[in-house]
Amino acid sequence: RLCCMNKYNKQLTVAVCCLIFCCLCLFVAVLFGVNELLKEQTLDGDVVSQSCWVPKGRDYCAPQFIIAGAMKCGTTSLWAYLINHPDILPLKKVQIDPRNLRTVLAEKEVRFFNDGAYKQLSKEYGFDKAINYYLDLFHPIPPRPDCPEHPENFGKITGEATPMYISGRGVAKRVYDALPQVKIIVMLRNPIDRAYSDYWFRKNLKIKADQIGRFDVSGYTHSEIFQQCMEIEMELFEKCKYNEFRDDPTLDSYDAFLQCHKRTSKTIMNADEASDVCTKSDLAPLCIPDAIRGNCQNKGLEVGMYFGQVFEWLSIFPRDQILFIQSEEFYSNTVEVMQRVSEFLNVSPDFEWDDVVSTTFNIVNPTSAAGLKQNLFTNNTQAKNSLQIGASNSTSEYPPLDPVVRSKLNNMMSKYNNALAKILKDEKFRWK
C-alpha cells in the first residue's frame, strides 16, 4: 500500500509540475507577446506576431494589408493618407520583375493578382519566383528587433492598393494562397454614384485641354446617356440570371453569371443598330443606340454589383480579416474612419489624421485637361503606365448627375444593395 501511495504521490507531483510549467509558459507568452512558444505554424510560413507573417523561404514580414477595392470609392485617398503614418511603409519600387514585363501603377497599384499579370508572370518565371518578385516590391521588415538588417523597420507594416482586386473573379483565392494572414480593406460606394464617377473618370483621362466637349452627344445630356447605359446593363443582369445567384448564391452560379455578362456585354458593345444582333436576335432589347454606345462601358455597373464580390471574398477569407468601409462615411467622417483603419491594422492610434486628410487624391493623366489642374503626388517615370496620383482640395470635376435620374437608378439597384447589406449585416450598405 505504501508503494502504491508513493507511486501516486510521484504521479501527482509530476502532474502539478507540468501544470505549473504550462502556466509559466502562458504567462511568459502573454507578458512578452511575440514568443516562440506561441508561434503559429501555417502551411506556407510562420505567424511571428499579430502584424508579421514570414513566408516560407523568406526572412522578412510579408505585406500586412491590401486595399482591394473598389474602384472610384476613395481608395487612392485612403492609400495616400495611410503612407503618412510613421508605422506604414510605401512600396519600395515600381518594377515588378527583372524583365520589366509588369510595373506598378501610380506607386500603389501592383495588380499582381489580376488575371493579366498573375498568368503572365507565373508562366514566364514560375509561380514561386513570381511570388518572390511580388514580395520584393515591399520594404524589408524584420520579424524581431534583434535582426541585424533593417532594424529601423521593425514593428512597421506595409501593403498595396489595387482597387480592381475585389471585382476580379479568382483574385481572392490567389491572394489567400500567397498571403493567408493579410488584412483586406474594401471601400464600397453607392453603386450608381460609383458608376457615374467612373463614367467621367475614363473620359477625363482622355480629354485634352483643347478637347472639352469631346464626348458630348447632340440631343442628349450626359445624365440621359448614363441612364441608358445603366438601364441596359441592369437588363443584362436579368438576362444573365443575377437574381437567381443572389437568391441562392454559390461560386458556380456566380461564375455562370460573370461568363454570361462578359460574353453578352462584349457582343452588344460591338453591335451597331443595323446589325443582325440588334435587329434579329434575342439581344436586340439590349442594344445601345449608336450615338451613345461609345460613352457606355461594358462593366460600368457590374463593378458596383458588390454582393457577388463580397460573397466570394467572404467564402475564402475569415470575416475578421476584412474591413468594409462605406465610402460616404469615409468622405464625411474621414478622421474617425482613419482611426478605425489604424485599429484594424494595429498601428499607433496616436497619429493626428487631421493634418493629412484635408487633401483629396485621384488617379490622373498628367497631360489631360483634368490632370493639369492637379498637383502631382507621384511622378514616377519608370512605370510603363503614365498615370499618376493627383492631389487637390476638391473631388473630381464633372457635371452632377440629374437627381431624378439618380433616384430612379437607385431604386432599381435597391434589391441588389439589400442583398449586400444582409450579407454584411450592416444597414448602411442599403444606401437609402
pLDDT per residue as tens digits for the range 1-56 = 323 334 444 454 555 455 555 555 544 444 344 333 333 333 479 999 999 999 99
CA 405 to chain centre: 29
With a CB cutoff of 8 Å and minimum separation 6, the contacts of 59 are: 140, 142, 143, 147
- All residue ranges of the chain with pLDDT < 50 are 1-10, 12, 16, 26-43
CA dist 402 and 276 (Å) reads 34
- Comparing CA positions, the residue from 43, 133, 9, 88 lying closest to residue 345 is 88
Q: Which residues, in sequence order, are bridge partners of residue 40?
A: 47
266 CB burial (10 A radius; 0-12, 13-18, 19+): exposed
CATH code of the region 45-188+318-372: 3.40.50.300
Copy the grid coordinates of residue 176.
489567400
With a CB cutoff of 8 Å and minimum separation 6, the contacts of 231 are: 409, 412
Q: Which residues, in sequence order, are bridge partners of residue 60?
A: none
Beta strands in 19-137 (DSSP E): 40-41, 45-49, 52-55, 65-69, 88-89
List the domain boundaries for the chain. 45-188+318-372, 197-207+217-301
Q: Are 305 and 192 in contact (CB under 8 A)?
A: no
> Residue 335: helix, strand or coil by DSSP?
helix
Copy the grid coordinates of residue 387.
498615370
Catalytic annotation present for 425: no
With a CB cutoff of 8 Å and minimum separation 6, the contacts of 39 are: 46, 47, 48
Copy the grid coordinates of residue 376.
502631382
Q: Does the N-terminal peptide bond of residue 62 adopt cis geometry, omega within 30 degrees of 0? A: no
- Comparing CA positions, the residue from 186, 216, 218 lying closest to residue 200 is 216
Annotated binding site: 189, 197
Please pick, among 72, 108, 156, 183, the residue that the annotation labels catalytic. Answer: 72
Quick one: pLDDT at residue 214? 83
Copy the grid coordinates of residue 19.
501544470
Quick one: pLDDT at residue 24? 52
Quick one: pLDDT at residue 250? 97
Side-chain half-sphere CA neighbours of 301 within 13 A: 23
Question: What's this model's pTM, rounded to 2 decimal places?
Answer: 0.88
CA dist 269 and 296 (Å) reads 8
CA dist 414 and 270 (Å) reads 29
Quick one: pLDDT at residue 21? 56
Copy the grid coordinates of residue 334.
474621414
Question: At 327, phi and psi to the nearest 5?
Answer: -60, -40
355 CB burial (10 A radius; 0-12, 13-18, 19+): exposed
Taking only the tens place, the pLDDT of each residue in 324-376 is 999 999 999 999 999 999 999 999 999 999 989 999 999 999 999 888 888 99
